[in-house]
Amino acid sequence: MSWAQSAFPWIGHVVANYNYWIVIVLMMTGFYVLISRGNLIKKLVGLNVFQTSVFLMYITMGKITGGTAPILGSHGEPVPGVLYSNPLPHVLILTAIVVGVATTSVGLALAVRIKEAYGTVEEDEINALDAEADS
Amino acid sequence: MLAAAGIGLAKLRNLFTVVMLAGVYSLLSAGLFTVMDAVDVAFTEAAVGAGISTVLFLAALVLVGHREKKPVRAPVLPLVVVIVTGAALAWGMIDLPPFGDPDNPVHHHVADHYLQESGHEIGVPNVVTAVLASYRGYDTMGEATVVFTAVVGVLLLLGRGAQGRRTGPEAGTGLSEPEAGEGGP
């Protein structure tokens, strides 16, 4: 490892910040599913993966090494000597999870309506039907 | 493991498997949130992400069918777009502060105040609850508005469809027109 670090000084930075790499991989997986798949349900699953990667990014930013969950002692005082992780990203992501499920449910409802109207949820077939209706 | 589940999601074509795997993925991320000290987020994710989402997806699959069509062409363009975007993100990531360092700027704006004072000011031992319900109460109200709008949207979309089916195609609502087009030549 030491020779590797002297040869490539950025490698330590990359390994120490592995959380961002996981976020990028997950985000790009979700993005890829979203733009390459024609099935509307599959697109929504991809969107959910994308969302979770953003959640992970916020949560890992709030983490402090050696910290613990931000819950105070019994008298409403921070326990002395205990390092708390940052509560603010947790709050934001709690809101984001609920909003994400709300948008997912609207997306699924739209998919169901499209299925009822077109008889398919595949994007290319829908486009073909639209072109047919236009001509 | 999370990344493996994500890539499995991208590869699989049977949508039932995909949805179940998405549930597993959600549960895994809930475990990861616990490790990252975000216990409130973890149980929300486990209940909402792994539970409600999966049920919603399964309900939708019952209605739309569970086979995904094979992609007609090799997805070269999406792959290129994804790689370019990923590279841009990686480039931007280099400037981000190190993982787990207590001196990161995130931890020194209002977070200190929340941790030190919320016990006196709000009187709730769980700081996340105190911030959610009190300091950022307007956010939570906005969230409730979004959920309400979503429920209204779903009801409008599905409720109106059920009405259209009951009255039959001769009712001539806008919704039945694409069906008529599909039945044509």
Q: How far apart are CA A104 and CA A122, in angstroms?
A: 18
Confidence check: pLDDT of A36 > 50:
yes
Residue-wise pLDDT for A84-111, tens only, equals: 778 888 888 888 888 888 988 899 888 8
Which residue in this structure is represented by tokens 């798949």? A37
- Chain B interface test: which of A22, A74, A95 (most B C-beta within 10 Å): A95
Ramachandran area for residue B29 (φ above 0: left; ψ -120 to 50: alpha; else beta): alpha
pTM (2 d.p.): 0.77
Domain assignment present for A76: no
pLDDT at residue number A6: 60
Is residue A22 in some structural domain?
Answer: yes
Spell out which residues of chain B touch residue A41, defining contact as CB-CB under 8 Å.
15, 19, 57, 60-61, 64, 68
Domain extent listing, chain B: 1-69, 125-169
Give the mutation candidate from A45, A82, A126 for the B interface (greatest B CB count, under 10 A): A45
> How much is the ipTM here?
0.76
Crossing angle for the helix pair A40-62 and A87-118, to the nearest 10 degrees: 180
> Any idea which of A33-37, A73-77, B135-139 has the lowest mean pLDDT?
A73-77
Which stretches within B36-174 are classed as H helix? 39-44, 53-64, 76-93, 111-121, 127-130, 137-167
Q: What are phi and psi of B14, to 5 degrees?
A: -75, 120
Question: Could you list the pLDDT tens digit for every one of the 185 residues in chain B?
Answer: 556 665 666 566 667 777 887 888 888 888 888 887 888 888 888 888 888 888 888 888 888 776 766 666 667 788 888 888 888 888 887 777 777 777 777 777 777 777 777 777 777 777 777 777 778 888 888 888 998 999 888 888 887 655 555 444 443 334 433 333 333 33
In chain B, the residue whose alpha carbon lies closest to the alpha carbon of A106 is B154
Please report the pLDDT score of residue B172 as a whole number: 38
Q: What percent of chain A has pLDDT over 90?
A: 0
Secondary structure letter of residue A81 according to DSSP: T
Domain count, chain A: 1
Alpha carbon separation from B58 to A30, A86, A95, B18 (Å, rounded): 19, 35, 24, 10
Query: Pick from B26, B75, B123: which is nearest to A76 by CB?
Result: B123
Taking an 8 Å cut-off on Cβ atoms, the answer to whether B6 and A35 are in contact is: no
Considering only CB atoms, A31 lies closest to which of B82, B126, B147, namely: B82
Per-residue model confidence (pLDDT) at position B73: 62
Q: How far apart are CA B182 and CA B122, in angstroms?
A: 60
> What are the phi and psi torsion angles at A115 (to 5°)?
-60, -40
From the list A19, A61, A101, which residue is nearest B48 (CB)?
Answer: A101
Q: Do A117 and B85 touch (CB under 8 A)?
A: no
Chain A partners within 8 Å of B72 (Cβ)? 124
pLDDT over threshold 80, residue A37: no
CATH of the domain at A30: 1.10.287.3510
Neighbouring C-beta atoms of residue B13, cutoff 10 Å: 15
Confidence at residue B1, expressed as pLDDT on a 0 to 100 scale: 58
Residue A73 lies in a domain: no
Residue in A closest to B89 by C-alpha: A24
